[in-house]
A and B are shown apart, each in its own frame.
Chain A
Amino acid sequence: MSDLGFPWKDLTRRKFQTGLAVAGLTVSTATTVFLVAFGESLGFSVTLLAGGGFTTGFSYVFSGFILVVSFLGFLAGVSVTSFLVSTAMAERVRDVGVMKATGSTAETAFSYFLTELSIVVFTSCTVGTLLGVLAQKACVSLLNLLGFQVSQKPLNLWVLLIIFVAFALASHVLGVRPIKRATKVKTAEALSPIFSLEKTPQPLRTTPSRLGLTFKIAYRSLLRRRSATLRAIACLSVVLTLTTVATVGGAVANQTTQSYAERAIGRNVILIGHPDLTEQYASFLARAFEEAEETKPIDLLDPKYLINESLISELNSLLGDGRVDPRLVLATTVHEVPGIIIDPEEPGGYIIIGDERSHEALVLGVDPGRVVNDWLTLGRFLNETDEYTAVIGDSLATENFQNPQKQNVKILGEDFEIAGVCLDPLNKGYVAYVPLETLSILVNRTGYNLLFLRIDPSERLEAVADIEGVLSGTGLEFLELNGVLDKQLDFLNSLWSMVMFLPLLSLVTAVLCLLSYTMLSVTGEQRELGIMRALGAKPRTILKIVLTETGLLVLVSGAIGITAGTLITWLFLIPEPVIPPLSLALTFGWLLLALVVISLTSLYPAVRVAKQPVAKIVSEPP
């Protein structure tokens, strides 16, 4: 037989166990490859750098999510592999004994099983990588089909190679240990019917007898296979952490990023301006997430774009005071001004920060008392007493400033103190908001070129009709920003659904993991379960025992996994999370339902044993 002959035949003969191992690692590899490749195609990379697709604020949430979920996917993959190899070797220790008894050395046995591991790992990693790439291509195509513009960027083969190698290497490193352990068992011990790799030498007997017979037996079985139980708990916990981050984290991140966009763009806001300007502004907004076509640059300060003050008075009298937010928008280069901060390492010392970088940005003069938006802002937004103060967009802050809140920004030759950094999809976050009066003086223009109106949604039709009436004959047009906002929210929703989908397959790995544990448990306990039936236990009693055992495992792992996943989501992933109670309750509800389903599906081996003729089980030698 060739070197591959025995391992290959052995794997194909044990289709179910081989299938479990291949499926577990394939799903994990595919998840990681998909997330990283999908992230790359959307323009942010796992290195947490803004890649040009999103504003850095959105990119931060997405990249953070992808990084954490990819890492958890990696951990889940290798821990599932390690666990499955351990359970497989626990079942194969007698085969190892037979091999050694018939003349094989421990090294030969080790190399056979290592070859099996390598076949499983390389097959799974290859299939997983291909599936991940295909899923990424499919999702990008689907986004385009849905009307969003996302290009199929060439895959970064180095990243794929690194993921492949990381999975293959880690799976080998963790898988080799149980193989070594099994092949090192003395031949006589390995052949002994009472020897087990997984059983603790002295069965433990902490007694929760009062909880009933089923619980007592299930609990003690778990304790007896302590090392396998602990490995199963560790493995399931990682998988359930991944699932929780993917579902709960995904749901919260989806709501939160949608809320960021809604706060920045504004709900029920109508934009009024010259058609050239409204088109330009819509294009600046559309660039937030998609690859919108560049519009022809125009001089935003052209006097023909300025809006007459009397129009504002008319709109105010029509809609009520405080509903109109006039702005003066221009495009210019803004510069980083070095700042001086206290040297944290040398008392009394100072250090200079900043590189005098510059970048093209939109500068918006706003009346702080009348702004209709409510950006997520680090620091504060402008107030009415501010003169040379600015709030800058997230991308401008992270790309052009070292410590924005300790620095100034130079706009049109003047220094502005940076009061805050806002998360703004407009012009991909390359924006600066300054007091309207100051900007008017600097550009020597009196007036505004854009108006933003917040309308009451219940009076929308009347308001739109009134606005149409007011604008007729002025050469201005209006644009309801709800359309732009909804498209962006749809895009975010589609994106999160896709990003959340594949990690949800981690539930499949949880099922595989538990199935494997139940197989080990039921195979190990098959005889005893048969004895119980011979003594009068009904098949459903056997199922109850196994279900209690797996239920306990899932309960403990679920408690660890869901807590860890929730903490990761809340503490590290999402700043100012928006937690919609109903959808969160639903998500947790689904998660709990998933745990129940996981427990139930793992009953398959138990059902098999419960259906076997009792006589066959008890008549076999122990």
Chain B
Amino acid sequence: MAKMRERVVFASSLCKEYRIGDVVIEALKNLDLEVGKGEFVSLYGPSGAGKTTLLNLVGGLDKPTSGRIIVFDQDLGACDEDFLAAFRATHVGFVFQSYNLISTLTALENIAFPMELSEWPEERVQKRSEKLLKTVGLSHRADHLPAQLSGGEQQRVAFARALANDPPLILVDEPTGNLDLETGLEIVRILEKLKAGGKTVIAATHDERIEQLADRTLRMQNGRIAAADE
């Protein structure tokens, strides 16, 4: 349970508004959340409920309009962009619905990318990239570019890349949304391994298999947490 564990994420009265011309859209409304270390939290809810916005704020991709978001004791709303970039590189692993691999880099190079940003020694980068690629079962696709990989393979590479810097927090946004059932199962298995490995995971998903893995499932609606199933 969140309160029993060391706190990783703490959000208090979190609001996020987007302005499109004169129209203000409230994506998050006074949201409170705590996630403990090693906890697996799944978020579900209709499109526009605020799941992705919440993941973005937790991952330091965006800043709240008001309220506080503290992750690993860092008040992300008060940090500058350079700090947030370094924070993302070392503390957070992202997996996006549309894989988001860098198209000019091979599978192996995509995995190596966060480590290279963190200026790891070249040999260590190479070894760890190969190891992670093997973990997701794609050693034979090391030199392939994203365009030459299937959707499932791309998502597995994306998971391997999210783990590259061994971040303690993994944020996953609809990881099986673009995949067929069978391919989605491979992703679920990877998430199982992550949970077993003690990573803190927050996953926005509609996939019941992932929800079943979660310690807590939060239903979001209209920018708020409408219900929590524990």
- Residue of B59, B61, B102 near A217 (CB, 8 A) is B102
Chain B residues with Cβ under 8 A from A538's Cβ? 81-82, 85-86
A531 near B: Cβ within 8 Å? yes
- Residue of A213, A527, A613 near B117 (CB, 8 A) is A213
Task: Report whether B117 and A541 are in contact in the complex, using a CB–CB cutoff of 8 Å.
Answer: yes
Q: How far is the CA of A622 from the CA of B96 in the complex (A)?
A: 11
Task: Report whether B56 and A619 are in contact in the complex, using a CB–CB cutoff of 8 Å.
Answer: yes
Task: Report whether A203 and B117 are in contact in the complex, using a CB–CB cutoff of 8 Å.
Answer: no
B192 CB to nearest A CB, Å? 24
Asked if A536 meets B89 with Cβ closer than 8 Å, knowing A202-B147, A613-B62, A615-B56, the reply is yes
Task: Report whether A536 and B62 are in contact in the complex, using a CB–CB cutoff of 8 Å.
Answer: no
- Residue of B96, B100, B106, B118 near A205 (CB, 8 A) is B106
- Residue of A202, A528, A534 near B61 (CB, 8 A) is A534
A95 CB to nearest B CB, Å? 21
Q: Which residue of B lies closest to A222 (CB)?
A: B104
B113 near A: Cβ within 8 Å? yes
- Residue of A203, A217, A220, A619 near B147 (CB, 8 A) is A203
A618 near B: Cβ within 8 Å? yes
Chain B residues with Cβ under 8 A from A224's Cβ? 103-104
B175 CB to nearest A CB, Å? 14
A436 CB to nearest B CB, Å? 78
A539 near B: Cβ within 8 Å? yes
Interface centre among A213, A527, A536 (most CB of B within 10 A): A536
A15 CB to nearest B CB, Å? 18
Of residues 570 through 622 on chain A, the ones whose CB sits less than 8 Å from some CB of chain B are 613-616, 618-619, 621-622
Task: Report whether B106 and A535 are in contact in the complex, using a CB–CB cutoff of 8 Å.
Answer: no
Chain B residues with Cβ under 8 A from A564's Cβ? none
B105 near A: Cβ within 8 Å? yes
Asked if A203 meets B86 with Cβ closer than 8 Å, knowing A535-B94, A536-B118, the reply is no
Task: Report whether B61 and A613 are in contact in the complex, using a CB–CB cutoff of 8 Å.
Answer: yes
B38 near A: Cβ within 8 Å? no
- Residue of A205, A209, A535, A539 near B114 (CB, 8 A) is A535
Task: Report whether B82 and A531 are in contact in the complex, using a CB–CB cutoff of 8 Å.
Answer: no
Q: Which residue of A lies closest to B117 (CB)?
A: A536
Of residues 195 through 244 on chain A, the ones whose CB sits less than 8 Å from some CB of chain B are 202-203, 205, 209, 213, 216-217, 220-221, 224
Chain A residues with Cβ under 8 A from B52's Cβ? 615, 619
A533 near B: Cβ within 8 Å? yes
Interface residue tally for chain A (C-beta within 8 Å): 31
Q: Which residue of B lies closest to A193 (CB)?
A: B98
Encoded as 1 (CB less than 8 Å from any A CB) or 0, chain B from 35 to 56 comes to 0000000000000000011001
Q: How far is the CA of A216 from the CA of B112 in the complex (A)?
A: 13
Q: Which residue of A lies closest to B52 (CB)?
A: A619
A330 near B: Cβ within 8 Å? no
Asked if A205 meets B145 with Cβ closer than 8 Å, knowing A217-B105, A615-B56, A618-B100, the reply is yes
Q: How far is the CA of A540 from the CA of B103 in the complex (A)?
A: 21
B26 near A: Cβ within 8 Å? no
Q: How far is the CA of A538 from the CA of B89 in the complex (A)?
A: 10
B116 near A: Cβ within 8 Å? yes
Q: How far is the CA of A202 from the CA of B114 in the complex (A)?
A: 25
- Residue of B88, B98, B105 near A534 (CB, 8 A) is B88
- Residue of B63, B82, B94, B116 near A213 (CB, 8 A) is B116
- Residue of B61, B90, B161 near A618 (CB, 8 A) is B61
Number of A-B contacts (CB under 8 A): 87
Task: Report whether B88 and A535 are in contact in the complex, using a CB–CB cutoff of 8 Å.
Answer: yes
Q: How far is the CA of A262 from the CA of B56 in the complex (A)?
A: 73
Task: Report whether B117 and A534 are in contact in the complex, using a CB–CB cutoff of 8 Å.
Answer: no
Of residues 136 through 194 on chain B, the ones whose CB sits less than 8 Å from some CB of chain A are 145, 147, 161, 165
Q: How far is the CA of A533 from the CA of B94 in the complex (A)?
A: 11
Chain B residues with Cβ under 8 A from A616's Cβ? 62
Chain B residues with Cβ under 8 A from A205's Cβ? 104, 106, 145
Asked if A217 meets B117 with Cβ closer than 8 Å, knowing A203-B147, A615-B61, A618-B96, the reply is no
A471 near B: Cβ within 8 Å? no
Interface centre among B53, B100, B145 (most CB of A within 10 A): B100
Interface centre among A533, A534, A616 (most CB of B within 10 A): A534
Q: Which residue of B lies closest to A620 (CB)?
A: B98
A532 near B: Cβ within 8 Å? yes
A4 near B: Cβ within 8 Å? no
Task: Report whether A535 and B104 are in contact in the complex, using a CB–CB cutoff of 8 Å.
Answer: no
A293 CB to nearest B CB, Å? 70
Q: How far is the CA of A217 from the CA of B147 in the complex (A)?
A: 16
Chain B residues with Cβ under 8 A from A221's Cβ? 104
Chain B residues with Cβ under 8 A from A213's Cβ? 113, 116-117
Q: Which residue of B lies closest to A533 (CB)?
A: B85
Interface centre among A528, A535, A541, A616 (most CB of B within 10 A): A535
B191 CB to nearest A CB, Å? 19
Asked if A536 meets B88 with Cβ closer than 8 Å, knowing A217-B105, A221-B104, A614-B61, the reply is yes
Q: How far is the CA of A230 from the CA of B114 in the complex (A)?
A: 31
Encoded as 1 (CB less than 8 Å from any A CB) or 0, chain B from 90 to 129 comes to 1000101010111111100100011011100000000000
B36 CB to nearest A CB, Å? 24
Q: How far is the CA of A496 from the CA of B56 in the complex (A)?
A: 60
Q: Which residue of A lies closest to B148 (CB)?
A: A202
Chain A residues with Cβ under 8 A from B106's Cβ? 205
Task: Report whether B104 and A534 are in contact in the complex, using a CB–CB cutoff of 8 Å.
Answer: no
Q: How far is the CA of A202 from the CA of B63 in the complex (A)?
A: 38
Chain A residues with Cβ under 8 A from B102's Cβ? 217, 528, 531-532
A537 near B: Cβ within 8 Å? yes
Q: How far is the CA of A217 from the CA of B113 in the complex (A)?
A: 10
Q: How far is the CA of A493 from the CA of B116 in the complex (A)?
A: 55
Interface centre among B52, B63, B94 (most CB of A within 10 A): B94
Q: How far is the CA of A533 from the CA of B109 in the complex (A)?
A: 16
Q: Which residue of A lies closest to B106 (CB)?
A: A205
A337 CB to nearest B CB, Å? 74
Task: Report whether A203 and B103 are in contact in the complex, using a CB–CB cutoff of 8 Å.
Answer: yes
20 contacts between A and B (CB under 8 A): A203-B103, A205-B106, A213-B113, A213-B116, A216-B105, A531-B100, A531-B102, A534-B94, A535-B94, A535-B117, A535-B161, A536-B85, A536-B117, A536-B118, A537-B89, A539-B81, A541-B117, A615-B61, A615-B62, A618-B100
| Seed contacts A534-B100, A539-B82; 4 additional CB < 8 Å A-B pairs | A203-B147, A538-B81, A538-B85, A615-B56
